[in-house]
């Protein structure tokens, strides 16, 4: 096992980790504010990927990349992901605000079923792997005799920028303060004159938009989309959020990167069939040492 063997795995893990981190941040924020494991979150990502597929397919001629198009389609997809998340919150989660959390989670599973099977039942989409309408150019640079494209570099940079932006919003703006206040004590926040419903919607919007961004980037990176692409990456993102310390943006980002790298390196060392075991083993060990995740604070049980 030499460095040259492991290095490409680490870099490949970095890409997976970037997508995971974007999704995990949304997961983590929603969890922080509602204590809800939003199983539908991975499917926001999937649905957003299909939206971008449809829009990009309509405006693209051939498979040559027109970066202007890709960027505005990316923005449209982010908005679509956010709007979808807000709609789900309004239609499903908000009417259930007084129900037990487990009921909300089951409803989330139902939403996930609806989204997956909704896409499956759209005739031109169906259950096949669909090739993404554009293929990014392959020119780029080499590190340790492995070739990387500029597009891949761009993906990582954009992911980092987005996560830093959300981190800044949550920790350094009035809106972010309001979000953290809602997470801490919703009733008291309402008494302070903050419209908590709107803050919750906003959190869902940000989460959905990040999932939308991840969808466009992952579709460009992997080159194909499928109606089941959201489920397993959603689970992994959830794991990543817990690994990093759920409820914290930085934790989710670090957890996502770590899990992505662990899975990729685990695949390289032990073969793809043991990748999940490697990832979950790391999770259990981490939680054993730090029961609240890497960056998680000690959260008192709500009384």
Partner 1 sequence: MANGSSSPPGTSDIGSDVSARGIRAAAEPSRPAARRAGASGGPRPDSRLATMARNRSALIVLAALAAAAILPETGQGNYVMSIAVQIEILMCLVLGLNFVVGYAGMLDLGFAAFFAIGAYMTGLLSVDLHWPILATIPPAIGAALLGAVFVGLPTLRLRSDYLAVVTLGFGEIIQEVVTNLNQTGGPEGISGIPPLRIGGLVVTTNDGYYNVFLVLVLVFVAVSFRVRHSRLGRAWLAIREDEDTAQAMGIKVRRFKLYAYMAGSVFGSITGSLYGSAFIAIAPPSFGFNESLLVVMAVSIGGIGSIWGGLLGAGIVVAFPEVFRQFAQARLLVFGVVLVLIMVLRPQGVWPESGLGLDRAARFVARFPGRRGEAIAARRRAAGVERTP
Nearer of residues 3 and 288 to partner 1, judged by Cβ:
288
Place of tokens 């685990």: 266
Nearer of residues 111 and 170 to partner 1, judged by Cβ:
111
Q: How far is the CB of 97 from partner 1 (least distance, A)?
A: 10
Measured distance CA(42)–CA(27) in Å, rounded: 9
Q: In terms of Cα–Cα distance, which of 240, 302, 278 is closest to 19?
A: 240
Measured distance CA(46)–CA(146) in Å, rounded: 30
Nearer of residues 77 and 236 to partner 1, judged by Cβ:
236
Nearer of residues 191 and 284 to partner 1, judged by Cβ:
284
CA atoms within 13 A on the CB side of 44: 36
At 9, list the tokens. Answer: 């795995």
Residues whose CB falls within 8 Å of the CB of residue 260, separated by 6 or more in sequence, listed in order = 13, 14, 15, 16, 17, 18, 19, 20, 21, 240
Backbone dihedral angles phi then psi of residue 225, each to the nearest 5 degrees? -135, 160
Nearer of residues 134 and 279 to partner 1, judged by Cβ:
279
Place of tokens 């792997």: 129
What DSSP line would sit under 45-56, residue for residue?
Answer: HHHHHHHHHHHH
Nearer of residues 152 and 236 to partner 1, judged by Cβ:
236
Local structure of residue 99 (DSSP, 8 states): S
Q: How far is the CB of 174 from partner 1 (least distance, A)?
A: 28
Q: How far is the CB of 34 from partner 1 (least distance, A)?
A: 11
Nearer of residues 101 and 164 to partner 1, judged by Cβ:
101
Q: How far is the CB of 219 from partner 1 (least distance, A)?
A: 23
Place of tokens 């997976």: 16
At 179, list the tokens. Answer: 């979000």
Q: How far is the CB of 8 from partner 1 (least distance, A)?
A: 24
At 217, list the tokens. Answer: 């980037």
Nearer of residues 169 and 228 to partner 1, judged by Cβ:
228
Place of tokens 């991975």: 42
Q: How far is the CB of 207 from partner 1 (least distance, A)?
A: 17
**Residues near partner 1 (CB under 8 A):** 31, 35, 37, 92, 95-96, 98-100, 102-107, 109-114, 116-118, 120-121, 235, 238-239, 242, 246, 273-274, 276-277, 280-281, 283-284, 287-288, 291-293, 299, 301, 303
Q: How far is the CB of 275 from partner 1 (least distance, A)?
A: 9
Q: How far is the CB of 228 from partner 1 (least distance, A)?
A: 11
Residues whose CB falls within 8 Å of the CB of residue 89, separated by 6 or more in sequence, listed in order = 200, 201, 204
């Amino acid at each position: 096992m030499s460095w040259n063997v492991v290095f490409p795995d680490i870099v490949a893990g970095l890409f997976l980790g970037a997508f995971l981190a974007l999704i995990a941040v949304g997961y983590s924020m929603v969890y922080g504010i509602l204590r809800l494991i939003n199983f539908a979150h991975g499917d926001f990502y999937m649905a957003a990927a299909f939206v971008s597929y449809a829009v990009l397919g309509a405006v693209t001629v051939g498979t040559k990349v027109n970066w202007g198009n890709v960027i505005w389609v990316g923005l449209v997809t982010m908005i679509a992901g956010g709007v979808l998340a807000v709609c789900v919150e309004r239609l499903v989660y908000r009417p259930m605000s007084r129900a037990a959390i487990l009921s909300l989670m089951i409803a989330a599973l139902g939403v996930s079923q609806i989204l997956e099977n909704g896409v499956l039942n759209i005739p031109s989409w169906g259950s096949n792997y669909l090739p993404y309408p554009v293929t990014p150019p392959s020119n780029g640079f080499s590190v340790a005799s492995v070739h990387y494209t500029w597009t891949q570099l761009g993906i990582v940079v954009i992911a980092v920028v987005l996560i830093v932006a959300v981190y800044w919003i949550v920790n350094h703006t009035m809106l972010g303060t309001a979000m953290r206040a809602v997470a801490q004590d919703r009733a008291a926040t309402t008494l302070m004159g903050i419209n908590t419903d709107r803050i919750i919607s906003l959190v869902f919007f940000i989460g959905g938009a990040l999932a939308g961004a991840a969808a466009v980037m992952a579709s460009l990176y992997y080159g194909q989309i499928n109606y089941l692409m959201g489920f397993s990456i959603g689970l992994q993102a959830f794991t990543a959020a817990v690994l990093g310390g759920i409820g914290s943006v930085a934790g989710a980002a670090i957890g996502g990167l770590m899990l992505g790298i662990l899975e990729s390196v685990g695949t390289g060392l032990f073969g793809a069939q043991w990748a999940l075991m490697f990832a979950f083993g790391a999770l259990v060990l981490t939680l054993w040492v730090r029961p609240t995740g890497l960056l998680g604070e000690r959260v008192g049980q709500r009384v």
